[in-house]
Amino acid sequence: MQQKPLFVRHAGQLVTLKGSSSSPLRKQTMNELKIIEDGSVWLEDGVIQKVGTDEELIRLYQSRLQEATVIDATGKLVTPGLVDPHTHLVYAGSRENEFGMRLQGATYMEIMNAGGGIHATTTATQQADSQQLFAESKRRLDQFLQYGVTTVEAKSGYGLSLEHEIKQLEVAQQLNEKHDVDVVSTFMGAHAVPVPYKENPEKYVDEVIHEMIPEVARRGLAEFNDVFCERGVFTPEQSRRILEAGLQYGLHPKIHADEIEPYGGAELAASVGCVSADHLLRASEQGIEAMADRGVVGVLLPGTAFFLMAEMASGRKMIDAGVPVALSTDCNPGSSPTVSLPLIMNLGCLKLGMTPAEVLAAVTINAAHAIRRGHVIGSIEEGKAADLIIFDVPNYKSLVYYYGINHVHTVIKRGKVLIQDKKRSESIG
């Protein structure tokens, strides 16, 4: 059935982030949100048709007003749909027991090296069938939507064998098809060295390169290829080989870099030409400079540092150095079990030294660029997907100021109202 046009009118602040579809915002431009007061948007056929002041739009659409569904956004904030560019969405089980262990002093890596951590989730994910995985992950995706997130990237990496990595990626693909939130898939077979390969990690690297990457690419199950480059996981040299192998099969490289210690991950990201380097808590100055030169998006995950009680990444330094910065939840069962991107924005301000404008740019247009979607989502511009959030706050500063509160009022995905006044308007598959 043909959808009626949607006319969102009178936004107190309409944050458009116009003009950055071809490359991400950097430095001072991250503060230029291109706000329209008393702003309105006409949405039709799932696409943004016209953006401007209400006066401008009413002149154009007066004659068609009767056929549209009108949403009054008076006194509210309207932004592009939020984009989460780094999640481990598809997994089974949970790890609250490890949270207790960490509170007693155990570190993330100690738990992992003792066979817990990623390995624990791998066991649970391998044991789960596709239906269970789908159900558990769909629940998280529903929660993301409640927080105004309309696109998420999702990594594999809890399968750690060809069969189970494919199962995870197929579930991500089904979610993308059946759920209103768009799911963008990343292959991350190099998330950990599986326990049986502990004495011979090279054998696993070989399997990732020669068996998994070709098969994942052949089946068209992922767009990106990610690797956990960290001491005790994959070395920079192994990471380079894995990322370059992916490139040969058309998988765009991403990297978990310098999370626990400085390990040359940021430098490697620049050298390989990664789309993004993520975490970067301990990235070196040279690494940051190299990323800025090469235009690698820095995806910062302050929720992870918070939850691991670790030192934060130098967000301020990275922006000042010219790195295009994005923010993400890193939603995963071990180091960041959250779906609240607005909370991450608040941490971006308080812990990374970012401004309220910068954090908004970091979860919209820059996050879209971190998953190569800058041309279709991330800003409110004519011709882009009609993904919009109406927040029940008068301006963008209030969104991060009133923290820990879900301010989402309305979620519009491809021109369809999915949530209105915090209520889901229809259920999905």
The dihedral through the CA atoms of 378, 422, 45, 426 has a sign that is: positive
What is the spatial distance between Cα 249 and Cα 410, in angstroms, rounded to a whole number? Answer: 40
Smallest gap from Cβ 203 to Zn ion, in A, equals 24
By CB under 6 A, the residues from 141 to 180 that bind ligand NIG are none
Nearer residue to ligand NIG within complex by CB, 92 or 418: 92
**DSSP character string of 206-263:** HHIIIIIHHHHHHTT--SEEEEEESTTSB-HHHHHHHHHHHHHTTPEEEEEESSSS--
Any known ligand binding at 340?
no
Nearer residue to ligand NIG within complex by CB, 54 or 226: 226
Beta-bridge mates of residue 69: 6
Burial grade of 157 (CB within 10 A; 0-12, 13-18, 19 or more) = buried
First-to-final CA distance of the chain: 18
**DSSP character string of 1-18:** -PPPPEEEEEEEEEE--T
Burial grade of 404 (CB within 10 A; 0-12, 13-18, 19 or more) = exposed
Q: What letter does residue 158 receive in the DSSP assignment? A: S
**Applying CB under 6 A, which of residues 182, 259, 358, 381 lies at the interface with ligand NIG?**
259
Any known ligand binding at 158?
yes
Any known ligand binding at 241?
no
**DSSP character string of 344-362:** HHHHHHHHH---HHHHHHH
Confirm or reject binding of residue 342 to ligand NIG (CB under 6 A).
no
Nearer residue to Zn ion within complex by CB, 44 or 136: 136
Nearer residue to Zn ion within complex by CB, 241 or 279: 279
What is the spatial distance between Cα 274 and Cα 224, in angstroms, rounded to a whole number? Answer: 10
Confirm or reject binding of residue 118 to ligand NIG (CB under 6 A).
yes
Any known ligand binding at 335?
yes
Question: Hey, what are 325's tokens?
Answer: 């910065």
Any known ligand binding at 200?
no
Q: Which does 358 bind (CB under 5 to 8 A by kind): Zn ion, ligand NIG, none?
A: none
Q: Which does 327 bind (CB under 5 to 8 A by kind): Zn ion, ligand NIG, none?
A: none
Q: Which does 49 bind (CB under 5 to 8 A by kind): Zn ion, ligand NIG, none?
A: none
Question: Hey, what are 303's tokens?
Answer: 């929720």
Q: Which does 262 bind (CB under 5 to 8 A by kind): ligand NIG, Zn ion, none?
A: none
Stretch that binds ligand NIG, among 46-54, 283-291, 328-336, 419-427 (CB under 6 A): 328-336
Closest CA relative to residue 88, chosen from 137, 146, 42, 45: 137
Smallest gap from Cβ 108 to ligand NIG, in A, equals 7
The pattern of x and - marking residues 370 through 389 that bind ligand NIG according to CB under 6 A reads: --------------------
In the chain, what is the greatest distance between 2 CA atoms, to the nearest angstrom?
72
Confirm or reject binding of residue 334 to ligand NIG (CB under 6 A).
yes
Closest CA relative to residue 92, chosen from 58, 138, 42, 25: 138
Nearer residue to ligand NIG within complex by CB, 31 or 123: 123
What is the spatial distance between Cα 35 and Cα 27, in angstroms, rounded to a whole number? Answer: 18
Any known ligand binding at 38?
no
Smallest gap from Cβ 277 to Zn ion, in A, equals 12
The dihedral through the CA atoms of 78, 83, 87, 93 has a sign that is: positive
Confirm or reject binding of residue 332 to ligand NIG (CB under 6 A).
yes
**Applying CB under 6 A, which of residues 186, 335, 338, 379 lies at the interface with ligand NIG?**
335
Amino acid occupying residue 162: L
Any known ligand binding at 226?
no
**Applying CB under 6 A, which of residues 330, 358, 381, 387 lies at the interface with ligand NIG?**
330
How many helices (H) does the chain have, and how many strands (E)? 17, 17
Amino acid occupying residue 125: T
Residue nearest Zn ion (C-beta atom)? 330
**Applying CB under 6 A, which of residues 147, 228, 306, 391 lies at the interface with ligand NIG?**
228
Residue nearest ligand NIG (C-beta atom)? 334
The pattern of x and - marking residues 29 through 68 that bind Zn ion according to CB under 5 A reads: ----------------------------------------
Q: Which does 259 bind (CB under 5 to 8 A by kind): Zn ion, ligand NIG, none?
A: ligand NIG
**Which chain residues interact with Zn ion by CB under 5 A?**
330
**Which chain residues interact with ligand NIG by CB under 6 A?**
88, 117-118, 121, 228, 256, 259, 304, 330, 332-335
Q: Which residues are annotated as a binding site for Fe(3+)?
A: 86, 88, 256, 330
Q: Which residues are annotated as a binding site for N-formimidoyl-L-glutamate?
A: 158, 332, 334
